[in-house]
A and B are shown apart, each in its own frame.
Chain A
């Protein structure tokens, strides 16, 4: 009986994470269309509901009632499993993300490693979708995106090694707690090159502009999910946006002090700003990073494929390797307010 209650309690907590997450995905798509609209001097969606606020739901219902078209000669099983395979890791990684002090589903010691393992699984959905659809554009998109994800994972892994060295722990809450203090105490400052590398590879990992060659509309229609329609397409969409929120959340936890306010620990400002709940600070910071995603998309032209590979292998990875050595020296010397 006790086990049953525990199980129900865990399921409740999972629901409390997934519900808001999926709602945020819905409104992230709305925010994306609105913000890019404003950047391009347009209004964005404004017809469904007040200020277009019901637009995401209209989209969801439209997609749900559309037919899921199976291409002839598609591998039926893998074709239908692929969207789920890309959604599963995007949701599973949330299990170790701390939203506030103690606000986490499972506080495991190897949290960072777990996140890295889960994000590395997302590539299967992409490859299988491209292959199972039996279409050359899908296949090209899948190849591009798989190569891109695998290469940027290395740079991202190295950036995370830097965080691991600085924090001395792989526990996500522990990483945040080791950054306790005002904004200049957070890891973005001593790990600035790694932070930049992490964010660039994060954008590349999620296949977002300017690294969205995987779905380069002008060249290969929509990349690996050309053949998907209806709910199957919606699941891919959900996975992509859940991954964007995940990468932003990780950036906040690893480099931007997680749930701490920017003035935490200062004489007068600190206690005042600490009145705002942890969760609110976390959400505000994540929203800031999500805005960067949208801003990038509205600003930068798409990278050429070979330039993406060059940036990943010949620029980002060497930068991380050099900075890991510098970081080790800084830690040895007990440099600044971070490593004393």
Chain B
């Protein structure tokens, strides 16, 4: 039964991955990528990596791909133009693809990734602990400095990305919410006393 479910997810995953690169419509391609992420998350959960699986959905499907989809929708991509150079660039692309496949085969096929030969580390793993809790305790004890370092690097990257796009253009009209909030009734509203006898003609 588990094997059957695994092959279902795997088949959909491979189908979706193929469609990502063959779909004509860029929005379709992005949606197939979402499907591929979703199926690999399901496969990871089946392999017992519940935290990684859910985080893949949360981060890649829930956030990254949404922004991706935004960009793809906004840009008017002409796929026919993109396809033009397919044969011309084949002589660079093909060797790179071959090198990548060989590298992957070397890593996956050599038995380094075999669970039986992987070092289990020197941490005692309690039977009842969930994989999320274990990951958390390892990240914040053994690997706390690399973890914090990665966080700082990401923070620097965020600040750099924002600074690159932040430029103040002259002549744009924008609102200052601080000043809007501070406005009181007296600033906008003027009550005028009209002397009564000036309203002529009423009587």
Binding site for B on A (CB under 8 A): 3, 75, 78, 108-110, 113-114, 116-117, 120-121, 123-124, 127-128, 131, 143, 146, 150, 153, 170, 306-307, 310
Q: Which residues of chain A come closer than 8 Å to B70, judged between CB atoms? A: 127, 143, 146
Q: Which residues of chain B come closer than 8 Å to A143, judged between CB atoms? A: 70
Please state if A110 and B58 are interface contacts (CB–CB under 8 Å): no
Please provide the chain B residues from 50 to 69 with a CB less than 8 Å away from any CB of chain A in the complex.
50-51, 54-55, 57-58, 61-63, 66-67, 69
Given A128-B31, A170-B132, A306:B57 Cβ within 8 A: no
Report how far A75 CA is from B63 CA in the complex, Å: 24
State the total of A-B contacts with C-beta under 8 angstroms.
Answer: 65
Q: Which residues of chain B come closer than 8 Å to A170, judged between CB atoms? A: 130, 132
Please state if A117 and B66 are interface contacts (CB–CB under 8 Å): no
User: Taking the complex as formed, is B177 at the interface, i.e. its CB lies under 8 A from any CB of chain A?
Assistant: yes
Please state if A110 and B177 are interface contacts (CB–CB under 8 Å): no
User: Taking the complex as formed, is B16 at the interface, i.e. its CB lies under 8 A from any CB of chain A?
Assistant: no
Q: Which one of B51, B58, B63, B133 has the highest number of Cβ atoms from chain A below 10 Å of its Cβ?
A: B58
Interface size, B (range): 20 to 34
Q: Which residues of chain B come closer than 8 Å to A113, judged between CB atoms? A: 51, 54-55, 58, 132
Please state if A120 and B31 are interface contacts (CB–CB under 8 Å): no
Please state if A306 and B66 are interface contacts (CB–CB under 8 Å): no
Report how far A185 CA is from B175 CA in the complex, Å: 44
When C-beta atoms are compared, the residue in chain A nearest to B73 turns out to be A131
Nearest CB of chain A from residue B196's CB, rounded to whole Å:
36
User: Taking the complex as formed, is B92 at the interface, i.e. its CB lies under 8 A from any CB of chain A?
Assistant: no
Q: Which residues of chain A come closer than 8 Å to B177, judged between CB atoms? A: 306-307, 310
Please state if A150 and B66 are interface contacts (CB–CB under 8 Å): yes
User: Taking the complex as formed, is B33 at the interface, i.e. its CB lies under 8 A from any CB of chain A?
Assistant: no
Q: Which residues of chain A come closer than 8 Å to B34, judged between CB atoms? A: 124
Please state if B31 and A78 are interface contacts (CB–CB under 8 Å): yes
When C-beta atoms are compared, the residue in chain B nearest to A311 turns out to be B177
Please state if A110 and B175 are interface contacts (CB–CB under 8 Å): no
Q: Which one of A75, A110, A116 has the highest number of Cβ atoms from chain B below 10 Å of its Cβ?
A: A110
When C-beta atoms are compared, the residue in chain A nearest to B74 turns out to be A143
Please state if A123 and B73 are interface contacts (CB–CB under 8 Å): no
Given A109-B130, A128-B31, A146-B70, A120:B62 Cβ within 8 A: yes
Please state if A110 and B54 are interface contacts (CB–CB under 8 Å): yes
Please state if B54 and A114 are interface contacts (CB–CB under 8 Å): yes
Report how far A127 CA is from B25 CA in the complex, Å: 16
Please provide the chain B residues from 15 to 60 with a CB less than 8 Å away from any CB of chain A in the complex.
25, 27-28, 31, 34, 50-51, 54-55, 57-58
Report how far A120 CA is from B73 CA in the complex, Å: 19
Please state if A127 and B66 are interface contacts (CB–CB under 8 Å): yes
Report how far A116 CA is from B54 CA in the complex, Å: 9
Q: Which residues of chain B come closer than 8 Å to A108, judged between CB atoms? A: 50
7 of the cross-chain contacts (CB-CB < 8 Å) are A110-B132, A113-B55, A113-B132, A117-B61, A117-B62, A127-B66, A153-B63
User: Taking the complex as formed, is B159 at the interface, i.e. its CB lies under 8 A from any CB of chain A?
Assistant: no
When C-beta atoms are compared, the residue in chain B nearest to A7 turns out to be B1
Nearest CB of chain A from residue B95's CB, rounded to whole Å:
37
Nearest CB of chain A from residue B32's CB, rounded to whole Å:
12
Report how far A306 CA is from B177 CA in the complex, Å: 9
User: With contacts A117-B61, A306-B177 known, what are 15 further pairs, Cβ within 8 A?
Assistant: A75-B25, A108-B50, A110-B50, A116-B58, A117-B54, A117-B62, A120-B63, A121-B57, A124-B34, A124-B69, A128-B27, A146-B66, A146-B70, A170-B132, A310-B177
